[in-house]
Structure 1
Amino acid sequence: MNARPARPAGPARRPSGVREVIRYNWPMYAAGAVTAATGWALARHLPARPAALARAASAGAAALLTTSTLATWHVYDRSELHSYDWLSDLLPDGPGDHLVVCTGLDEASRPVAARYPTARQLVADLYDPALTTEGSIRRARRHAPPAPGTVSARPDALPAATGSLDTVLTVLAAHELRRPADRTALFTEAVRTLRPGGTLLLVEHLRDLANTAAYGPGAWHFQPRATWLRHAAEAGLHPAAERRIATLITAFAFRSPAA
């Protein structure tokens, strides 16, 4: 199935920064703030040892709120992530005919289209409310609905003809496919749609030491580096380039076999 090109309509929306991330995830931030305040307040009325534990819990919650907020600000407001200056390191010739894959929140299609205005672009949204149940995604979609021309799709049925694309881009989206079978299907479909020597560009937070230090248990929402490498290998893709962005983001360029 072919889709018509999706191009930016009107002024580009401001990409998500720390303000939007807090807006989308406000229940978690509120829970952290309540935990910190409650622990500190309870400590005043408890015996010495329980009071020390309550203060420790309060301090831990406050520290996690602080580090995660600062990390988010650094990545989304201060780094080169949203400028896409890093893209030329991974795609020196540009994305060519490309498909942007998102899972509820698309923040890649507009800046990529603006940077490469002559490239043909398609946009596929894999959002499935029955599977993507996080409240943050629902709130994000209300704030930033899909761009005009976006096609609803499934991981096993991307809206592009076989061998029709130079690049498939998935930016901070693939980790929302929580079922391994869906991630496998996405990689398999990417290979189907790519021309020989085409590129699957995957950009993700990883479940690694840096993200765990910044986000604590929240880093378990991400996948380890080994998971993405395994999915690529199973689909017949090989790593062609890799780049870190603001320490906490990793961009992979996986190449399909040449003819």
Structure 2
Amino acid sequence: MATLRKPFQGVTNIVRFNWHFYVLALATVGVLFFLGFFFQNSFAWMAFAIAIVIAVVTLVSLSVSCYIYDFSGLYYFKWMNEFIPAEGNSIVNIHAGFDETSEILHQKFPQSKLTVLDFYNPEKHPEVSIKRARKDYPPYPGTQQITTTTIPLEDQSAYSVFLIFAAHEIRDPKERELFFKELRRIVSINGKVVVTEHLRDVPNFMAYTVGFFHFYSKASWKKLFKTSGFRVSSQFKCTPFISTFILEPNGTSS
């Protein structure tokens, strides 16, 4: 199955949507090298060292992102064959304003009913990168705008719910818990919720340094799942930097 993605689409989008960070990094490196050549003393070596560190960290993060999003086969979603029946079920894909997966899910499950929901709220989720992405990528046809606290679907109406690089954009812990309780309400008793995320762990620190604080730890995710009425039926690494949790309803919905 084709992934419907262009070569280097992942890393190109990262640079396009976060260009201000890379301009700042490039400018900082340039200024530090200029100062290093201008001052012929111990400060020069410090300036050179800092510039090299910034350049290396930036290149490493881009290289890792290129591996993850362009070369790892992440968007083939081969693991779904094991957890999600191929056809005939209701699928819900929920994203945070930038949707790279709905068309892929439609292609993978062409006989299933696909509902696409977008909880992006510029006041609650002010990421400038998402604003830029929304200008360049039109929404999937039929996408419904929702809030994180109210999902306009019937109780137990969805067999599979996908949250792929989306849930971490809900920064407020209480809002995130209410959102997952809504997921618990709409998923069928035998259904599954698929959560794919970077984690705040050692591999992501090595790749993104302080940027890994944008992610959440495995322990915090598991605590959220439990308090929202889910149990983790399976978890695995799609790459050393990407984790997927397969959730199932735990008991009766409250």
Same fold flag (TM > 0.5): yes
Q: Measure, in 2, the Cα distance between the counterparts of 1:28 and 1:88.
A: 38
Q: Measure, in 2, the Cα distance between the counterparts of 1:237 and 1:46.
A: 60
1:97 paired to 2:100 = no
1:241 paired to 2:238 = no
Match of 1:179 in 2: 172
More deviation in 154-163 or 93-102? 93-102
Q: How does 1:62-211 map to 2 (within 5 A)?
A: 62-89=55-82, 91-94=83-86, 96-211=89-204
What runs of 5+ residues in structure 2 fail to find an aligned partner? none
By how many angstroms is 1:88 displaced?
2.0
Q: Secondary structure at the match of 2:38?
A: coil
Q: Measure, in 1, the Cα distance between the counterparts of 2:247 and 2:86.
A: 15
- After superposition, what is the alpha-carbon deviation per residue over 1:53-105, rounded to whole angstroms, capped at 9, x for unaligned? 2112101110111101100110111012111112223x142483121110010
Q: Secondary structure at the match of 1:162?
A: coil
By how many angstroms is 1:165 displaced?
0.9
1:229 paired to 2:211 = no
Higher relative contact order (CA 8 A, sep 6+): 1
- After superposition, what is the alpha-carbon deviation per residue over 1:148-199, rounded to whole angstroms, capped at 9, x for unaligned? 1000001111121111111111000111111112211111001000111321
1:45 paired to 2:47 = no
- Are the aligned partners of 1:98 and 1:168 in contact in 2 as well (CA < 8 Å)? yes
The one-letter code of the counterpart of 1:93 is: P
- Are the aligned partners of 1:197 and 1:258 in contact in 2 as well (CA < 8 Å)? no
Match of 1:61 in 2: 54
TM-score calculated relative to the size of structure 1: 0.90
Q: Measure, in 1, the Cα distance between the counterparts of 2:123 and 2:84.
A: 38
By how many angstroms is 1:14 displaced?
4.4
- Are the aligned partners of 1:101 and 1:170 in contact in 2 as well (CA < 8 Å)? yes
Q: Secondary structure at the match of 1:17?
A: helix
205, 209, 226: which one aligns with 1:212: 205
More deviation in 30-39 or 201-210? 30-39
Q: Secondary structure at the match of 1:154?
A: coil
- After superposition, what is the alpha-carbon deviation per residue over 1:20-65, rounded to whole angstroms, capped at 9, x for unaligned? 1110111111111112222122111225332222112101110111
- The alignment-based identity, stated in percent, is 28
What runs of 5+ residues in structure 1 fail to find an aligned partner? 1-10
- Are the aligned partners of 1:74 and 1:246 in contact in 2 as well (CA < 8 Å)? no
Q: Measure, in 1, the Cα distance between the counterparts of 2:166 and 2:156.
A: 23
TM-score calculated relative to the size of structure 2: 0.92
1:256 paired to 2:249 = yes
By how many angstroms is 1:146 displaced?
1.2
Q: Could you say if the C-alpha distance between residues 255 and 112 of structure 1 is closer, same or farther in structure 2, counting changes exceeding 3 Å?
A: same
- Are the aligned partners of 2:90 and 2:157 in contact in 1 as well (CA < 8 Å)? yes
Q: Measure, in 2, the Cα distance between the counterparts of 1:85 and 1:120.
A: 20
Q: How does 1:16-31 map to 2 (within 5 A)?
A: 16-31=9-24
